[in-house]
Each structure stands twice: as C-alpha cells, then as structure tokens.
Amino acid sequence: MDYGLILSSLLIAGCAELTRVDRPASFHGAASAGVLDDGYEDYAGVIHIHTTYSHDAMGTFEEAVRVANAQRLDYLVITEHNTLQPLRDGKQGWHGATLVLIGMEISTRGGHYLALNVTEEIDRFKLTTQQIIDEVNRQGGVGFIAHPYFKKGRWKDWTVTRFTGIEGYNVAHDTLDENKLRLALWTISAPAEPFYLSILDRPYDPLAKWDELIRRHGRIVGIGASDAHEFHLFGLTFAPYTIMFQLSRTHLLIQGPLTPEKAYDALRAGHAYFSIELLAEAKGFSLTADNGKRVLGIMGDEVLLEPDLRLTAWLPAPAQLSLFKDGQLIATTTNQAWHVPITEPGAYRLEAARHDKPWIFSNPIYVRPAPPPPPSTPPDNSGLAQPDASPETTQPPNTSEQPGAGADAAMQPPK
C-alpha cells in the first residue's frame, strides 16, 4: 500500500479530523424472542495488526492495546511482517481485558499469508507457498490468504490447498487503497465518520473468490482484517487504530471463557463472522440451523438436510439482509429476525447492511444431503417350519428319453 502518497495527500487536504471518532451505537440486551439459544458466547476482536515491530508501521504495541481496551475488544491478533519477535518478547497474553495473540504475516512467493498459532518462524525464501502452508499446519497453526486483491501484491497461486481460509475484507487494501483520490480531496472541516462511510463499499472481489474457493474445496473460513499500521506525521495520526479497529472486526463464537486454544479452534471451524462497526456494533448476531425445536448447527458447521430444517438469523438491530447459496443471492428482506426454510443442500451465508452500507458477513452453514435410507432386507423365516420335499414333486421329467424331444419340448410343463 502506498501510504506515502496517502499521507502527503491528506496533509495537502488538511485532514486532521481523521483521528476523531465517536463510539458506535450498541444494541446489547435487545430481545431475541423466538430465537433458540445456541450455547455460544460472542467474542469480538481485530485480526491482522501491525506495530513498530514491522518496518512499515508507526503505531506502537502499547497504543494498539490501549485502543482495544477502550473499545472493549475481547482479543487482538498481531501479525508483524515475517517475524515472531513480539512472541519472543512475551507480548502474548492478557493485557487488561483484551487477550493479545501473536502471529505473523509471511511474504510468500504466491502472496501474503497470515500464520496464526505458530511458534517457529518459517523460511519464506527456501519454501514454496504450498510448503509454507503445510509448515503452518505442521506447527498446529491456522492460516489465511491475506488481501487477495491488493493491487501491488495480489495472491497469485490459487493451486494451493489445505489453507484455513481467506480475508473476505481487508480495510487497508479493499477500502483505503481504492480511494486515494477521495482521501486527497477530503477537507479539514469534515468529521471522520461521514468520510469513512462515504468510501465504504461491499468487497465484491474477495467475497466472490471466497465463494469460489468454497465450491472448489469445501469449508473455507472467511475473516475480516484490519491490516492496521497507523502513521504519525507532523503531530497528526493517519489511519489510526481507533478507526481501523472499528472498520473490521471478526467475532468468534466460543462455548465458555475465551482462551487462545478456543480462539484458534473457532477460527479452524469457521465459528465466526466479520463486521464493519463504524456506526453500529454487531455483537449478538447469530445465524443457526434449527428445526424449530433445537439448534442443529452454527456458522461453520455441517448439518444434514431434514424435514423442517430452517436457517434462523437474529441481529442486534434491523438491517437489510441478503442470503446467499453457493455464492448466488437467493433471498432478501429487511428485518431483525429471519426464518428461512431450507429444502436443498448448499453452502448458505448471510450478509447484512444498514443504510446501504455493509455491516455483517457470516461464515456459511453447510447443508449436506441426507444419507439414503438403508436397503430393506427380506424377512428372516429361518425359524419357521418348512414343508417336506418329496421325490415325486421335485424330480424334473426325463425328456431325453422321449422321441423327438428337443429344446421346445423340454420347456413344456410335465403332464
């Protein structure tokens, strides 16, 4: 990302107000009548963050943690470029009310790859892209293709397999990179929220690629990524953590208290959704598969097609809802709760927007065909008495002794 051009443009336009942001609306505690309890807690956090451990960031680790605590985030995932130095420095763990996890962003030959839950640095020069993915898996990690449509660093190797997922939205490259001219033209008098709302748009290309990968590989997990760096120049802060942490959050659905192991398990399973929370928080959103009596699965799960199967969505506030099946839009509504009968197998995911701006993106629920019924077996009559066979009734006629008897004669019934 050409941050130098953005920074100089911002200074020309005098956009000092980009550092100001108000707390988004919270809908916590709203009633969810008619929605079954799935037993999961919703933990909100930010994935893909850079600090001064990276060569191209000016925000400090301490500042990222301060903002996370101020915004009541449950976790952060720090991913410095090609290094685990923060892990070696003991930065992973609880900082106030926020759990900080350390991963890294690896510059592979095929593109950038987020490696989480790894403890050993990986030689990106000696290994191919697939070998790096395999090494992350060998270490018990989870991995995500980063900013697949970054103009200066697109993901190039789509032959790879066994990766966990993909960034369905990356703030730095799907929003800021695409709006440099508008960044340059913004004036000093404009507050932050209208400006950032004006450049928000649905990330069409990453979402289409995500759907394609699901069709090819099965379960592929989608996450939101901040890719926050934060820059300081002449006493001003640009692309600050305060804004970047609201423009992309990934919510993890976990049973019980948050721990590193449970966080990574949720990411592997796709028990997650991502959101843009500049104006409204998303915590409390749910998408489940149920039969009206009990929950059969949550986002990321596979469920079997059965009678009365439905998807149930509930949101913290009314929104414009779009339901996709295998990447194709199949239904829309505007509501806070939505029950959709499901009659066909497929990968179903939901998107929500408010005021025509993207808000929430679910991971899919995978509906699989019901298994065929077991083959029927004939009744067991072995315990019943059988009639006695007699020579008179079981011996075939001796047609070979009849003059002129041939095949046609042999087929005649005995007289």
Structure-token match 């008495």, residue found = 385
Look at residue 383 in the predicted model and tell me its pLDDT.
Answer: 56
Structure tokens at 300: 């990321």
The residue among 274, 284, 279, 286 whose CA lies nearest residue 221 is: 274
CB 224 within 8 A of CB 361: yes
Structure tokens at 386: 């059988």
Collect the ranges in the chain with pLDDT lower than 70.
1-33, 177-193, 378-415
Burial class (CB in 10 A: 0-12, 13-18, 19+), 41: middle
Structure tokens at 50: 């850079």
Backbone angles phi, psi at 387, to 5 degrees: -65, 145
pTM for this prediction: 0.84
Look at residue 21 in the predicted model and tell me its pLDDT.
Answer: 42
Look at residue 246 in the predicted model and tell me its pLDDT.
Answer: 96
Strand partners, 310: 290, 341
The residue among 307, 241, 249, 216 whose CA lies nearest residue 70 is: 241
Look at residue 178 in the predicted model and tell me its pLDDT.
Answer: 58
Rg of the chain, C-alpha, whole Å? 30
CA distance 349 to 231: 35
CA distance 172 to 186: 18
Look at residue 18 in the predicted model and tell me its pLDDT.
Answer: 39
CA distance 131 to 161: 10
Look at residue 401 in the predicted model and tell me its pLDDT.
Answer: 40
Residues in the chain: 415
The secondary structure element, H or E, covering residue 112 is strand 112-116
Look at residue 4 in the predicted model and tell me its pLDDT.
Answer: 47
Please enumerate in sequence order all residues whose Cβ is within 8 A of that of 152, keeping only pairs 6 or more positions apart, or say none. Answer: 1, 2
Please give the domain boundaries of the chain with CATH numbers for all domains. 36-283 (3.20.20.140), 285-371 (2.60.40)
Look at residue 413 in the predicted model and tell me its pLDDT.
Answer: 39
Residue 254 is classified by DSSP as: E
Look at residue 3 in the predicted model and tell me its pLDDT.
Answer: 44
CA distance 285 to 267: 17
Instruction: Write down the number of H helices and E strands in the chain.
Output: 12, 20
Look at residue 406 in the predicted model and tell me its pLDDT.
Answer: 40
CB atoms within 10 A of CB 403: 4
Structure tokens at 367: 């509906």
CA distance 47 to 274: 10
Look at residue 180 in the predicted model and tell me its pLDDT.
Answer: 54
Q: Which amino acid is at 231?
A: F
CB 359 within 8 A of CB 352: yes
Look at residue 353 in the predicted model and tell me its pLDDT.
Answer: 98
Q: What is the DSSP string of 327-347?
A: TEEEEEEEEEEEEEE--S-EE
